Every structure is written in C-alpha cells, then in structure tokens.
C-alpha cells in the first residue's frame, strides 16, 4: 500500500506531465501597441478568441506597449484589442508554435 507522501508525489508528477504535454502544443502570441504619435500604448486589454476555444483571459499591455498571450493552441483566431470596452479592434490571425509575432498595431 502506498503512503500518503508517495501518492502526493505521484499525483504531482502526473500533473507536471499533463501540463508539459499541454504547453508543448501551445504558442505565445506577442505584439506591440503604439499610439498614433509613436509612443507605446500601455494598459489596454488584449484577448484572442475563436469559436472552438472561446475568449482567452485578457493580457494587459505593458509600459513598453508589449503584450503576451500564453498557451494559445495553434489555429485561426481573432485578436481583440479593447480600446473601447463595447467594441474591440479586431484582427484575424493564425497562431503557430512556439511564437506568433503580430506586427505593430497603431491605435487611435
């Protein structure tokens, strides 16, 4: 019979293997937002969405204008930039492993 610490170690090992397998087939979507004056556009929320996966958790744009959305499975998505809370700016993108770089986007 296994002891509790042995069972916990085995469960932790299985969880690590599942997470590694899941992240092995996922990509990071990254890009930069700029204002029309060329300065970084910080603080906005950026998401990706598709009919199959739904909408990702929002990534916040950093002080340098960069955003990173992690663990996105390869496929076709809509990149949503939430400049206006009621209607985001939307771009079609295709995500590849391991990184999908989005060209700089200028927001109003």
For the stretch 19-36, pLDDT in tens is 444 445 799 999 999 999
Give the whole-number percent of the chain exceeding pLDDT 90: 71
User: How sure is the predictor about 9, in pLDDT bands with cuts at 50, 70 and 90?
Assistant: low
The radius of gyration of the chain's CA atoms, rounded to the nearest angstrom, is 18
The whole-number pLDDT of residue 100 equals 95
Q: Kindly report the pTM of this predicted structure.
A: 0.75
User: In sequence order, what are the beta bridge partners of 47?
Assistant: 80
For the stretch 67-97, pLDDT in tens is 999 999 999 999 999 999 899 999 999 999 8
Query: What is the CA 15 to chain-centroid distance, rounded?
Result: 21
Is the model more confident about 2 or about 42? Answer: 42
The whole-number pLDDT of residue 5 equals 56
Question: Concatenated DSSP letters for 40-85?
Answer: B--S-EEEEEETTTEEPPPEEP-TTSEEEEEEEPSEEEEEEEESST
Is the model more confident about 93 or about 10? Answer: 93
Domains identified in the chain and CATH numbers: 26-107 (2.60.40.10)
Q: Residue 102: pLDDT above 60?
A: yes
């Amino acid at each position: 019979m296994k002891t509790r610490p042995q069972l916990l170690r085995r469960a932790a090992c299985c969880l690590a293997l599942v997470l590694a397998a899941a992240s092995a087939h996922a990509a990071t979507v990254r890009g930069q937002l700029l204002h029309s004056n060329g300065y970084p556009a910080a603080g906005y929320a950026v998401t990706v969405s598709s009919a199959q996966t739904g909408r990702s958790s929002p990534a916040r744009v950093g002080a340098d204008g960069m955003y990173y959305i992690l663990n996105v499975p390869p496929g076709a998505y809509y990149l949503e930039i939430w400049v206006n809370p009621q209607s985001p700016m939307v771009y079609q993108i295709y995500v590849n492993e391991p990184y999908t770089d989005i060209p700089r986007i200028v927001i109003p």
